[in-house]
Amino acid sequence: MEERFADIIIDISHEKLDRTFQYIIPEALREQIQIGACVSVPFGKGNRLRKGYVVKISGQAEYAPEKLKTIEGMEEKNVKAEERYIALAAWMKEQYGSTMIAALKTVLPVKQKIKSLEKKSCRLLLPAEEAEKLLQDCRGKHQTAKARLLQELIQLEELPMPLVTGKLHISPQTIKSLEKQGALCIVSESAYRNPVKISGQTADARMEAYGRRKQLSDEQREAASGILEDFDAGKRDTCLIHGITGSGKTEVYLEIIEGMIKRGRQAIVLIPEIALTYQTLLRFYVRFKDRVSVINSTLSQGEKYDQWERAKRGEIDVMIGPRSALFTPFPDLGIIIIDEEHENTYKSESMPKYHARETAEKIASMQDAAVVLGSATPSLEAYYRAKTGKYRLYELTKRQSEGGLPRVYTVDLREELKQGNRSIFSRKLRELIEERLKKKEQSILFLNRRGYAGFVSCRACGYVMKCPHCDVSLSEHMGGKLVCHYCGYEQPGVKKCPECGSKYILGFRAGTQQIEEAVHKEFPQARVLRMDADSTRTKDSYEEILNAFANGEADILLGTQMIVKGHDFPCVTLVGILAADLSLHMNDYRAGERTFQLLTQAAGRAGRGKRTGEVVIQTYDPEHYSIIHAANQDYKKFYEEEMMYREMLLYPPAAHLLAVLVSSVKEEEGMRLAEKIGGLLKEHRGLCVIGPAAASIGKIQDVYRFMVYVKHKDYGKLIEAKNRIEAFMEKREMEGRAGKETVQFDFDPISAY
Ligand code: ADP
Ligand code: ZN
Ligand code: ZN
Q: Is 216 in the pocket of ligand 1 (CB under 6 A)?
A: yes
Q: Is 250 in the pocket of ligand 1 (CB under 6 A)?
A: yes
Helices (H) and strands (E) in the chain, counts: 22, 31
> Quick check: 32 and 79 in contact, CB under 8 A?
no
Distance CA(615)–CA(530), nearest Å, equals 19
From the CA of 456, the nearest ligand is 2
Residues 364-377 pLDDT 10s: 999 999 999 999 99
Q: Is 707 helix (H, G, I), strand (E, B) or coil?
A: strand
- Cβ–Cβ contacts within 10 Å for residue 212, how many? 8
Can the peptide bond before residue 352 be classed as cis, meaning omega within 30 degrees of 0?
yes
> Quick check: 602 and 446 in contact, CB under 8 A?
yes
Encoded amino acid at 262, one letter: K
> Quick check: 443 and 556 in contact, CB under 8 A?
yes
Low-confidence ranges of the chain (pLDDT < 50): 1, 14-16, 112-117, 190-203, 450-452
Q: Is 609 in the pocket of ligand 1 (CB under 6 A)?
A: no
- Long-range contacts from 387-390, C-beta under 8 angstroms, 24+ separation: 390/237, 390/238
Same fold, 5-107 and 407-452+510-648: no
Host H or E run for residue 627: helix 625-631
Contacts (Cβ under 8 Å, ≥6 apart) of 488: none
Report how far ligand 1's centroid is from the alpha carbon of 249 (Å).
Answer: 7
Host H or E run for residue 216: none
Q: Is 323 in the pocket of ligand 1 (CB under 6 A)?
A: no
The structural domains of the chain, with segments of one domain joined by +, span 5-107, 117-191, 215-396, 407-452+510-648, 656-747
Q: Is 280 in the pocket of ligand 1 (CB under 6 A)?
A: no
Contacts (Cβ under 8 Å, ≥6 apart) of 748: 355, 381, 652, 656, 657, 658
Q: Considering the entire predicted model, what is its pTM?
A: 0.79
249 CA: nearest ligand 1 atom: 3
From the CA of 470, the nearest ligand is 3
CATH class of residue range 215-396: alpha beta
CA-nearest residue, atom 10 of ligand 1: 246
- Check whether domain 5-107 has CATH 3.40.1440.60, yes or no: yes
Report how far ligand 1's centroid is from the alpha carbon of 453 (Å).
Answer: 35
pLDDT recorded at residue 360 = 98
251 CA: nearest ligand 1 atom: 6
- Cβ–Cβ contacts within 10 Å for residue 516, how many? 20
Phi, psi of 700 (to 5 degrees): -130, 130
Report how far ligand 2's centroid is from the alpha carbon of 696 (Å).
Answer: 24
Assign residue 576 a region: left if phi > 0, alpha if psi is -120 to 50, beta otherwise? Answer: beta
Give whole-number Cα distances, 440 to 429, 437, 527, in Å: 16, 5, 11
- Check whether domain 656-747 has CATH 3.30.70.600, yes or no: yes
Closest listed residue to residue 344, CA positions, set 601, 721, 63, 111: 601
pLDDT recorded at residue 193 = 43
Domain 407-452+510-648: give its CATH code: 3.40.50.300
Closest listed residue to residue 196, CA positions, set 269, 300, 285: 285
Give whole-number Cα distances, 130 to 28, 146, 158, 213, in Å: 55, 15, 16, 51
